[in-house]
Amino acid sequence: MSSINPRAVQIEAEVVSNKKVGAYHHMVFSVEGMAASARPGNFVAISVGGESTGLVLRRAFAIYRATDKSLPAGSNGLIELVIAPHGQGSTWLASRQVHEKVNMVGPLGTSFGIPTEPVRALLVGGGYGSAPLFGLAELLKSRGCRVDMVLGASSAGKIYAPLEGKRSVSSMTITTDDGSAGLQGRVSDALPQLIEENESEIIYSCGPMAMLQAIQAIADKYNLLHQASVEESMACGIGVCMTCVVPLRGSDGVVRMSRTCIDGPVMDGSNVIWDSQRRIPEGTWGA
């Protein structure tokens, strides 16, 4: 049975910076030695609401970037997050001021697999779900890989930091549903041409489940590896509550309900049963 990431620790993380960027908040936390263990694709689980809150469950946030080095302020590690203030928990977190502290557990979950040899990688992100792809792009580029990125959202204001992304990739493509920036349409509309033009060999993705399913269909068509960071609600982040399960086909061919916070969030897209529609597929082990 899978277990919590063995590198995970629980700390009081201090807010170093909190800046509003478009529809999101870019937050930086001093995390002691946690940053040294963080990998692209990992996430953190944060206690929200304060001491007297009724918000019992933690909130999970993908790590945007981790920096492990000595800093003037005395911190030996920083973790950056992109927060979309939608619900009570994320809105509370986005309102934290510099020097305030939050209780954080991390790094959690699986990370993206990095090729041992340079490859042509295509990174695809949807909305703030694109956050973990920026650190991944930098790592792949440092390994000699060609990195092409596609960022999509409903409108221009929900594309996160496209200019920053351009600095880490060979090419950047923007898509918006309403046509307010880049190409009008969905990221999946742009992929076939990009795959053919750039001779892509592997796809890394993060975003809404419907988007990931569409990407997997394209990956199947072109016979490409697809590592997807699955977006399911993670109420605890440590494998206890079972709210984030998805049907996953194992190496033995058996479908099991697997916890995305433990067995993921990064998964081989070809093993996820994307069309389950949040139901347990017939023949699933234990059903």
Q: What's the first-to-final CA gap in the chain, in angstroms? A: 17
Say which DSSP state 276 is in: G
**What pLDDT was estimated at residue 222?**
97
pLDDT in tens, 29-72: 999 889 999 999 999 999 998 887 878 888 999 999 998 865 55
Sign of CA dihedral 191, 130, 134, 236: negative
**What pLDDT was estimated at residue 284?**
78
For tokens 């304060």, name the residue. Answer: 50
**What pLDDT was estimated at residue 73?**
55
Which residue type occupies 111?
Answer: S
3-class SS at 49? Answer: coil
**What pLDDT was estimated at residue 30?**
94
Question: 213 with 287, same domain?
Answer: no
Question: 99 with 158, same domain?
Answer: no
Question: 101 with 124, same domain?
Answer: no
Please check whether residue 1 lies inside any domain of the structure.
no
**What pLDDT was estimated at residue 1?**
56
In a 13 Å sphere around the CA of 43, the CA atoms on its Cβ side amount to 33
Question: 69 with 96, same domain?
Answer: yes
Q: What are phi and psi of 24, to 5 degrees?
A: -125, 170
Question: 200 with 244, same domain?
Answer: no
Whole-prediction pTM: 0.92
pLDDT in tens, 233-256: 787 888 888 888 899 898 888 898
Q: Pick from 264, 224, 23, 229: which is nearest to 136 by CA?
A: 229
Question: 271 with 184, same domain?
Answer: no
Cβ atoms of residues 42 and 79 within 8 Å: no
Domain extent for 256? 238-287
**Mean confidence (pLDDT) of the chain:** 89
Helix, strand, coil distribution of the chain in percent, nearest 5:
25, 35, 45
Say which DSSP state 88 is in: H
Question: 127 with 225, same domain?
Answer: yes
Say which DSSP state 272 is in: B
Please check whether residue 219 lies inside any domain of the structure.
yes
Please check whether residue 142 lies inside any domain of the structure.
yes
Question: 100 with 181, same domain?
Answer: no
> Which of 84, 108, 132 delimits the end of a domain?
108
Question: 127 with 185, same domain?
Answer: yes
Of 160 and 263, the one with more pLDDT: 263
pLDDT in tens, 168-215: 799 999 999 999 988 999 999 999 999 999 999 999 999 989 999 999
Share above pLDDT 70 across residues of the chain, in percent, rounded to a whole number: 94
Of 86 and 161, the one with more pLDDT: 86
Domain count along the chain: 3
Q: Per-residue confidence at 120, pLDDT binned at 50, 70, 90?
A: very high
Cβ atoms of residues 79 and 132 within 8 Å: no
Q: Label residue 221 exposed, middle or buried (CB < 10 Å: 0-12, 13-18, 19+).
A: exposed
